[in-house]
Structure 1
Amino acid sequence: MYFVDKKYTEHAQFLSAGTFITNQPWIHTERVIDSYEIISPIESTLYIECNNIPYAIESGEILVIPPHTRHKGIKYCEGRMKFHWLHFSSVNLSIHTETEVIQELNVNNADDMIILPVHTNKIDSRRFHVMFNQLLDLYQEKKRNNYLNAYLSCLLHELTSEILSVLTRKNVNGNRLQPIQDWIRIHAFDDVTIDKIADHFKYNKSYLSRIYKENTGIGISEQIITFRLKHAKKLLTETDLSIVQIASEVGYEDSKYFMRLFKKYESITPTQYRKTFFNKHYNKK
């Protein structure tokens, strides 16, 4: 999820910033504030819950907490704890899914946008930390508000630039992987393997497996199973084929293995699935 300002014309307002340091066991207090907060650990892991979602924020990662959000520590941080924190206000940021952001980037100019992650561990945050320290120096020197706001905008643009790099790679890889996903769908009921897919598309097997899961959220082997079980459910409810025949139709010569797999993914046996469907169908009459 991302906080997005599609037209960054009304700039964010800097409120405060600092670096929290402790050498004692420590847990974040529970609170709700009326501004955005960016947290980025430098040393140790920060265990925190926002909107009932737990996070373990490690060194170099970024967490953005929106206004009026209850957040609290969920575990003591042992040893030395050090993290940057930054409070700012913004009227035009709104929450969007990754898919929505990518779609927006395909039709609008990214130069006008600010995109902040709810949580990310995929960016290079080194420049962010350098810029944060510079902003902190300006704040401690009590520079003019307009100066602090301008530098805050630079920092937000830096985060946006890193996020854009991540999203662009995903978008390119996603488009590139669509033919592979289509090929798997067409050949899912054959004797298809990751080796055969990698060989067909001239990819290294390990590389293909990694980028496929990174960009689709599902591994290739699981993708094959998904296509097979989807078709199996169709055959169970629309034909009188036996379980053995259906197993063979979707690529499993070992019907017992098919039944175990079906139960694992559907939490019900093929026979129970068929009976359940027909019972539902009967009740509709």
Structure 2
Amino acid sequence: MLMQQINATFAEKMHFIAIEHSHVHSFGHLILPLQGTLNLKSGPRSLIVDYQHVLFLPPECDHSYYSNDRNEFLVFYIPYNLLSHHSDSDVQYLDFDDRWRALRFLMLSECQESITNTAALNQLLHYSFQLIRQNQKPVSIRYLQDNYHTNISLQTLAALEHYHVNYYSQWFQKKMGVSVQTYLQKLRLQEAKRLLRETTYSMLTIAQQIGYEHQSSLNRLFKQYEGVSPLIYRQDSKNRKNSS
């Protein structure tokens, strides 16, 4: 079901029922938890919004939702013109940290006034968009960047984004322009190059530092992307440094 356009920001406390409902609308939603859980599905993603999470739904986002427990959420209806310069077209599923708790307190205070101050709500929403932008890097990408030196499965990454494994691979390729394996290799290569330039670690130690068990894996990585062995890369880096 397509819901009509709105012209101004407003918010309300909402309770969701156990019957699944689907719709799409031309405005955005920001959903903040107050009590209970909300089950929401958008495309291939199945999300649970609870006291640990905040959800932003962009305009034209087809989604379905229901709740099986006692619940209450603060839901903002955000007109398209307020969103056009602040967020992309992706669903944002964010951790409900102390910044969001403070923001929710201020938003609730505004909503409880007898006359809603739309300008004040918009200012609070502008701040919320800043928080969203700060966290727009997908959680699985952040996980890869922080844990590239460990064994990482596709199942783990897909679960972080709430995607099926097969869909996650397609999503990652579209989002990053390379496969998960290539992205992981480049993260490891970047760190290996730094270690070769800045330390005297052995080749085996460097291989193990970036997530490989054997030195041969490090050699293959450098031959594939640099065309030389890591030993030659280290020597070339040393020569460039001495000549500068």
Larger radius of gyration: 1
TM-score normalised to structure 1 length: 0.43
Q: Which has the higher contact order (CA 8 A, sep 6+)?
A: 1
TM-score normalised to structure 2 length: 0.48
